[in-house]
């Protein structure tokens, strides 16, 4: 028997809006409201509001926090400026990925956002491995919203004018109706947008104010998954896990230059070797022929019928109106344009290795209009 799902702070709000609730990461979460295709397209053309309060929000503080964290992840925290979220990963000694995350320096502490399904394990790992001078505060009373899409800035800046000055991967503290909010210009859809951390007791007021903006509709987990797949962004537990390294997962951008050279984080020996010699396998995008989606678990097979890899995420791309997928394949097959076969449910179809993202990112980068 598994534990019953816990309600999110916005549980009643989701149900009032007609969401279909499903168990996810130990919570009852909205999979969809009006429908995944409509919600997906709305986010790409206007602004979608996502409740991601299941994610873990941590405050990590105390003497030697920076050094202690650098021993667990490959980001260059010494170089990390105030209020600049950085994508990173907690790593195992063999280079496998415990979780992927965002870490931000905030004054005398670091603010970390980790995945909902893995947060308890992450906290235990951090508490076991960090120096005893460091305290990990799992902020269970903090909710998290994401507002994503080309009109997200119009909607949010109407309520909090200061957010328009943020650029992609910068953050700041804001106040709105007496509610303290930590807002970063970031997200998981490939669109411009924001992630908004507020106290759970105030989140319904914030969600209502955002939803009252014409540009904004509520978006469920179903469209969150199809949006991130089109954006080429990996999902932990599917495209990333204990057996995948950052190099195999094509996340080399997250390995800071100094850390690559100096090491001092778990898995460095294997990762350094893979950076020089190339990994055995690599995460790639696949454009799938025909209309039938290929799902997680489908086999990638070569021209002789040998199994050479597995699909880790797959579905139908509403923007491209075609099936797309992510898979791990041997390095020799990882070049865009290579053809492979995909076998699932007793059927075989063809796929072509494709550069990701499948749908171009539209982030609001500094210095770009």
Partner 1 sequence: MSVYYSKDHEWIRVEGDTATVGITDFAQGQLGDVVFVEVPEAGQGLVQGGEAAVVESVKAASDVYAPVSGTVVEGNQALVDDPALVNSDPEGEGWFFKLTLSDTHQLNELMNADQYRSFCDSQ
Residue numbers 324-353 binding partner 1 by CB under 8 A: 345
Grouping H, G, I as helix, E, B as strand and the rest as coil, residue 179 is: strand
CB 268 within 8 A of CB 318: no
Q: Which stretch binds partner 1 (CB under 8 A): 132-140, 193-201, 248-256, 312-320?
A: 312-320
Closest approach of partner 1 to the CB of residue 44, in Å? 14
Residue 246 makes contact with partner 1 by CB under 8 A = no
Closest CA to 88 of 133, 142, 126, 132: 126
What is the Cα–Cα distance from 134 to 141, expressed in whole angstroms? Answer: 21
What is the Cα–Cα distance from 285 to 233, expressed in whole angstroms? Answer: 10
Residue 318 makes contact with partner 1 by CB under 8 A = yes
- In the set 10, 21, 28, 36, which binds partner 1 (CB under 8 A)? 36
Task: Locate the DSSP E strands across the chain.
Answer: 6-7, 20-24, 27-32, 47-51, 56-62, 86-91, 97-106, 109-114, 134-138, 142-148, 171-176, 179-184, 193-199, 216-218, 281-288, 299-301, 307-317, 322-330, 339-344, 347-354
Task: For tokens 């990925």, name the residue.
Answer: 97
45 or 133, CB closer to partner 1? 45
Residue 35 makes contact with partner 1 by CB under 8 A = yes
Closest approach of partner 1 to the CB of residue 33, in Å? 11
Per-residue x/- track, 37-56, partner 1 (CB under 8 A): xx-x----------------
56 or 315, CB closer to partner 1? 315
Closest approach of partner 1 to the CB of residue 285, in Å? 18
CB 323 within 8 A of CB 346: no
- In the set 7, 15, 23, 31, which binds partner 1 (CB under 8 A)? 31
Closest approach of partner 1 to the CB of residue 321, in Å? 8
Residue numbers 203-222 binding partner 1 by CB under 8 A: 222
CB 300 within 8 A of CB 327: yes
Residue 32 makes contact with partner 1 by CB under 8 A = yes
40 or 364, CB closer to partner 1? 40
Per-residue x/- track, 273-292, partner 1 (CB under 8 A): ------------------xx
DSSP codes, 110-128: EEEEE-GGGHHHHHHHHHH
Residue 312 makes contact with partner 1 by CB under 8 A = no
Closest approach of partner 1 to the CB of residue 315, in Å? 6
Closest approach of partner 1 to the CB of residue 316, in Å? 4
Q: What are the C-alpha distances in Å from 346 to residues 241, 290, 309?
A: 27, 16, 16
35 or 161, CB closer to partner 1? 35
What are the tokens at 339? 């053809």
- In the set 168, 236, 316, 358, which binds partner 1 (CB under 8 A)? 316
Task: Locate the DSSP E strands across 213-263.
Answer: 216-218
Q: What is the CA radius of gyration of the chain?
A: 20
The residues that touch partner 1, with contacts defined as CB under 8 A, are 31-32, 35-38, 40, 222, 225-226, 291-293, 295, 315-316, 318, 345
């Amino acid at each position: 028997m598994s534990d019953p799902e816990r309600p999110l702070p916005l549980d009643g709000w989701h149900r009032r809006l007609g969401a279909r609730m499903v168990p996810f990461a130990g919570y009852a979460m909205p999979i969809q409201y009006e429908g995944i295709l409509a919600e997906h397209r709305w986010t790409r053309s206007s602004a979608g509001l996502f409740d991601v309060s299941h994610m873990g929000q941590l405050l990590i503080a105390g003497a030697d926090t920076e050094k202690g964290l650098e021993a667990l992840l490959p980001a260059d925290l010494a170089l990390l400026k105030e209020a600049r979220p950085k994508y990173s990963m907690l790593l195992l000694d063999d280079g496998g990925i415990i979780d992927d995350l965002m870490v931000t320096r905030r004054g005398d502490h670091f603010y970390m956002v980790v995945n909902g399904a893995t947060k308890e394990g992450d906290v235990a790992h951090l508490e076991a491995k960090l120096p005893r001078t460091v305290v990990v505060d799992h902020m269970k009373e903090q909710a998290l919203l994401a507002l994503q899409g080309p009109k997200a800035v119009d909607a949010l800046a109407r309520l909090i004018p200061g957010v328009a000055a943020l650029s992609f991967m910068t953050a700041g503290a804001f106040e709105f109706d007496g509610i303290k909010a930590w807002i970063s210009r970031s997200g998981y859809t490939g669109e411009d947008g924001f992630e908004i951390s507020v106290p759970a007791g105030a989140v319904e007021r914030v969600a209502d104010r955002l939803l009252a903006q014409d540009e904004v509709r509520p978006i469920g987990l179903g469209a969150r998954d199809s949006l991130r797949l089109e954006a080429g962004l990996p999902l932990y537990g599917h495209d990333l896990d204990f057996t995948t390294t950052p190099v195999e997962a094509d996340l080399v951008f997250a390995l800071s230059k100094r850390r690559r050279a100096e090491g001092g984080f778990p898995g460095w020996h294997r990762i350094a070797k893979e950076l020089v010699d190339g990994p055995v396998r690599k995460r790639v995008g696949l454009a799938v022929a025909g209309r039938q989606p290929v799902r997680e678990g489908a086999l990638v097979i070569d021209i002789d019928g040998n199994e050479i890899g597995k699909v880790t995420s797959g579905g139908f791309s509403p923007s491209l109106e075609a099936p797309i997928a992510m898979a791990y394949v041997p390095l020799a097959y990882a070049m865009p344009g290579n053809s492979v076969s995909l076998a699932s449910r007793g059927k075989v179809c063809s796929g072509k290795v494709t550069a990701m993202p499948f749908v171009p990112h539209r982030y609001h980068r500094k210095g770009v209009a």
